[in-house]
Amino acid sequence: MGITTALSEVHSVRVRRVHDYWNTLRGERFAPGRAEIDPAELSDLLPSLLIVDIEAEPFRVRYRLVGTLVVEVSGFDFTGHYLDELEFVSGDGEFQEAYYVVWKEQVPVYARPYWPFDTERKTCYDLGIFPLSDDGENVTRALAVEGYEEIENNPHVQQRSYGWRHRRSLI
């Protein structure tokens, strides 16, 4: 998958749009607060958005909101679950690393996970993760967006839910 902080690596118009929106909100700060995000301004992107809570000690990521398209692609609504409780077919632990970099470095991170049903592993989608701060000093949440345009526009790539697995019991 590989992660980067370079927006130039991003192909997705959706990810770039969220970057521009986030960047406008933050101004001179490293990140805006969650309360500043107006869902109406991103209404057409809501199905592709995720909002996570970031816990510092120990470091954990909890999914507060998972958009309906992300749920459809994943095959499971993981709202309310921790990232370390889930094992995604695409990612190999790099999702955790990406959120960690956002938290530690206080910068947006971009990734290009492989589309899990492309058996030759040539097709990727874009993921953008943007820091949010409730206190103006620490990353306490993140806004993420998954840009599936390459998959949606590729008739040769199988498009279906890829499912999920528990790493440990969620009960």
Domains in the chain, ordered, with CATH? 3-166 (3.30.450.20)
Contact 69, 112 (CB under 8 A): no
For the cut 90, the answer to whether the pLDDT of residue 151 exceeds it is no
For the cut 80, the answer to whether the pLDDT of residue 100 exceeds it is yes
Taking the model in full, what pTM does it have?
Answer: 0.87
HSE-CB of 47 using CA atoms within 13 angstroms? 8
The CA distance from 163 to 149, in Å, is: 20
Query: What is the share, in percent, of the chain residues with pLDDT greater than 70?
Result: 81
Q: What is the pLDDT of residues 45-96, one digit of tens each?
A: 999 999 999 999 999 999 999 999 888 877 789 999 999 888 765 555 788 9
Which among 88, 104, 168 is positioned nearest to 142, based on CA atoms?
A: 104
pLDDT of residue 93: 73
Contact 70, 161 (CB under 8 A): no
- Return the ∠ at Cα 71 (arms to 55 and 116), rounded to 5°: 95
pLDDT of residue 168: 35
